[in-house]
Amino acid sequence: GSARHKQQDLDGAIHAYQAAIELVTPMNPVQVEQTQVSMLYYLLGAALSALPSHRCKGASCAEYAAQKLRVALRYNPNNEEAKHALSALVADPSITTASNAYIKSLFDEYAATFDKALVQGLNYSAPQKLFEVVTDLAATDGVKSFKTVVDVGCGTGLCGPLFRNMSGTLVGVDLSAEMVEHAR
């Protein structure tokens, strides 16, 4: 299902997720972890939410997606992806930001491919631009180096190599432990 989903074959992904759910839900909880069933329902909900509204019979695809996301949360109330997707899908006004747990989960999973996707795929240049601004301001004030540079939300550490030579101590902080590990 995930392979089809990544290829934008939503019908194939939905069919695969539904088939997997039909296989695992009758199983004894000892045989299959409830978190895995929850993840299948989350993935099904995500695929359904990507369909145009008119594609689902009887209700909008968003309504079907919300149903599946609620089921995902019944199997695992701590499924941060499902919580986030459901609140976004139903436009929950009480949710004003993604939870730290969701951000951590998302970026822990994304850490291994983050640099390639960001720098090569999207031509991300924010670290270089930030470095240029800081060095210009520092030069204007006659500052050659800083005692400590702290990169809050350091991700995989793209700013680190740029600021390393102008700081006595370079500190990277991020919610995602996997991102920090890549930065190290």
Average pLDDT over residues 1-27: 91
The chain-wide mean pLDDT, for the chain, equals: 89
The radius of gyration of the chain from alpha carbons, rounded to an integer in Å, stands at: 21
Q: Is the pTM of this model over 0.95?
A: no
**Is residue 31 over pLDDT 70?**
no
pLDDT at 109: 82
Those residues whose C-beta lies under 8 Å from the C-beta of residue 134, and which sit 6 or more positions away, are: 163, 166
- Per-residue pLDDT of 37-78, as tens digits, reads 999 999 999 999 998 877 887 778 889 999 999 999 999 999
pLDDT at 105: 82
pLDDT at 44: 94
- Per-residue pLDDT of 106-118, as tens digits, reads 888 888 888 888 8
Burial 117-138 (b: 16+ CB within 10 A, else e): ebeeeeeeeebeeebeebeeee
- Per-residue pLDDT of 135-146, as tens digits, reads 999 999 999 999
For tokens 């005692």, the residue is 147
pLDDT at 141: 92
